[in-house]
Amino acid sequence: MPERFGQYELLMRLGHGGMGEVFLARVAAAERLVVVKRTLPHLATDPALVTRFLHEAKAAAQVHHPNVAEVFELGSEAGRLFMVMAYVPGLDLATLTRGVRLEPVLSCQVLADAARGLDAAHHTCDRSGRALELAHGDVTPKNLLVGTDGVTRVIDFGLSVVRATRAEGSQGGTYEYQAPEQALEGVVDAKTDQFALGVVAWELLAGRRLFAGETDVSTLDEVVACRVPSLGAVWPGAPRALVEVVDRMLAKDPAARWPTCRDVAEAFDACVAEHRATGDEARGLAPLVSGADADGSSGDEPMLLEVKAPGSARSRLAALVVARRAVAEPLAPAPQPTDTTPASVASIRPMTGAEQVALEALRGLSAPMTLDTMEQALTLAGLAAPLDLLQGLLEAGALRRVDDETFEPTVRP
């Protein structure tokens, strides 16, 4: 049976770390999927932290925008702080780009969406019209979710309060994405969010890390010094307009940055439109991958990933996310079949992408699993023809029958 947490049934753990866990969940009283993020119990024992978390998370829950993952509920339950967000099938930007570089036009689409989401939060008001002055404080690739619809959403508003407990005196935010004034004085505002998104942009387009000291202290020293190479210096031939967008976001003086993230979004939109108007990679947003091998790989920088499909940047992003999502967690090697393995496994075939996604969804269930439980999990995960997928998993050797009524996942030989 799924674990109950308040009014939610925790169906599958999507991730975990030093501060908490993330679950795919279902509202017990309705057939609706959500994401539940809950902290470890010890974080809820600090009254000041609880108060601050609830204050900032309540403000975040008032942000309603297509480029921000909506927050449905927040609070404290069973000694844990938690936040309930909309479930959006997709991948965070860090996972999507692991080991590869996106075409620059796709990066610009992601960045434009993220900037719009941040701007919406920065200008959110309460019911009386008073500006909430909400800032994210931890804009990183892990907090930008690219959906299977090709839309990028900012996630985890309010959770930087919890992350700030990692180190005494920390103001929240991942060190290598902090603005100089955030690292020095603890400032968290719209301009620090813009700077952090600028670091994400520089790294996406340059294909390497910007601030990467050997220790947290040396990384913070680099952030404070803010000696940022121009994007044009690391990407020769980059479109001048794109270089200007990113370089301005990374100005050391906050006053020299773009006035708002809306201006940033419009600037990236213009880059995407220029690419679409020319239809020419060489003249538009053509990447330069120096030192790449014939297969596109390089020892120093990730492989350039191009999406060979017609359509807009957003539709190509959607296709990319679906493809990458299917293989985000490759299967581990397994023992050879034993006598308990069903005969159908004898002629094992490779799994399809849809079957790999289905297996990922089943991994969060407690084994052994009934047919009804598996069918329900796949349906809730938005997968079509769940019974056909289960039959395919049996044929591929990824599932085995325990008895007449139950099954369990196995690793393929």
What residues form DSSP beta bridges with 355? Answer: none
Residue 24 CA to its chain's centroid (Å): 15
Quickly tell me which residue has 């670091």 as its tokens.
199
**Listed residue (143, 132, 177) closest to 69, CA to CA:** 143
Half-sphere exposure of 392 (CA within 13 A, CB side): 15
The span from the CA of 238 to the CA of 224, in Å, is 27
* 317, two tokens: 């992003």
The span from the CA of 181 to the CA of 186, in Å, is 7
CB 239 within 8 A of CB 271: yes
Query: What letter does residue 238 receive in the DSSP assignment?
Result: -
**3-class secondary structure, 277:** helix
Q: Which amino acid is at 308?
A: K
Residue 170 CA to its chain's centroid (Å): 23
The span from the CA of 348 to the CA of 394, in Å, is 9
List, as one string, the DSSP characters of 186-249.
---SHHHHHHHHHHHHHHHHHSS-SS--SSHHHHHHHHHHT-PPPHHHHSTT--HHHHHHHHHH
- Is 126 assigned a catalytic role? no
Catalytic residue (one of 113, 119, 138, 247): 138
The span from the CA of 324 to the CA of 368, in Å, is 28
CB 266 within 8 A of CB 125: no
Phi, psi (deg, nearest 5) at residue 3: -70, 140
Beta strands at 152-154 and 406-409: parallel, antiparallel or unpaired? unpaired
**Listed residue (232, 245, 149, 160) closest to 200, CA to CA:** 245
Neighbouring residues of 76: CB distance < 8 A, sequence distance ≥ 6: 44, 50, 54, 82
Q: Among all residues, which ones are annotated catalytic?
A: 138
